Amino acid sequence: MVQTFFCKRKTKRCPMTFFFNILDIDALAAFLVWTTNNPQWNEKKNYRRGLFLMELGYDLVQSHLDRRRQQPHALQQNVPIAIQALGLTVTTSHPTIVSTSNGKQRCHICPRERTRKANTHCSDCNAPCCPDHHTVICTMCNETLSG
């Protein structure tokens, strides 16, 4: 049964091979316990184990997804868009100043010729903003909010 659905990957590391084998056996054991306790669950379908593994994987990562959704400033720019496309909401927090460990970065509003460096960031999009363009949120995000 383990060979039908498995998570083995080609690797030269013996501990990883052992870990993949443990995952496969544990997933099979969890499926057997689940079907023993819930015999009517998807009883008409031939691919019950595949459905169980998909739900198991989703349940295992659900807490991680919820935690990442609560911290949108830590996500890459396209990830919140993908989360919203799935119909989930992304909570936004608005700190006044977000600092980076990289030091000063070029203001994203100033023209290239000017190249003003900034320590402050927009609290909405986390883009670096010089003091001329920095309020609680950058002027571009402010236009989006008011318009």
Q: Is residue 147 in some structural domain?
A: yes
| CA neighbor of 136 nearest in space, from 106, 104, 82, 98 | 98
pLDDT for 61 equals: 84
Distance CA 109, CA 116 (A): 9
pLDDT for 136 equals: 53
Residue in the structure block whose two tokens are 């608005």: 94
Distance CA 98, CA 84 (A): 23
19 & 78 share domain: yes
Among residues 55, 85, 115, which one ends one of the domains? 85
Rounded to two decimals, the pTM is 0.47
18 & 80 share domain: yes
Distance CA 98, CA 134 (A): 12
78 & 106 share domain: no
24 & 76 share domain: yes
**pLDDT tens-digit series, residues 134-144:** 665 566 666 66
Distance CA 121, CA 135 (A): 9
- Give me the domain span that covers residue 58: 14-85
**pLDDT tens-digit series, residues 71-116:** 766 677 777 777 778 777 776 554 444 444 467 788 878 877 777 8
pLDDT for 101 equals: 47
Among residues 35, 61, 85, which one ends one of the domains? 85
In this predicted structure, the answer to whether residue 67 has a pLDDT above a threshold of 70 is yes
126 & 79 share domain: no
102 & 46 share domain: no
Q: Is residue 45 in some structural domain?
A: yes
Amino acid at 134: H
Number of compact structural domains in the chain: 2
Neighbours of 64 (CB within 10 A): 9
Q: Is residue 51 in some structural domain?
A: yes
Among residues 65, 85, 105, which one ends one of the domains? 85
pLDDT for 64 equals: 83
Q: Is residue 49 in some structural domain?
A: yes
**pLDDT tens-digit series, residues 29-53:** 999 999 999 988 888 888 888 899 8
% residues pLDDT > 90 (the chain)? 5
Yes or no: say if 67 and 88 are a contact pair by the CB < 8 Å rule.
no
User: By CB neighbour count within 10 A (0-12 exposed, 13-18 middle, 19+ buried), where does 36 fall?
Assistant: exposed
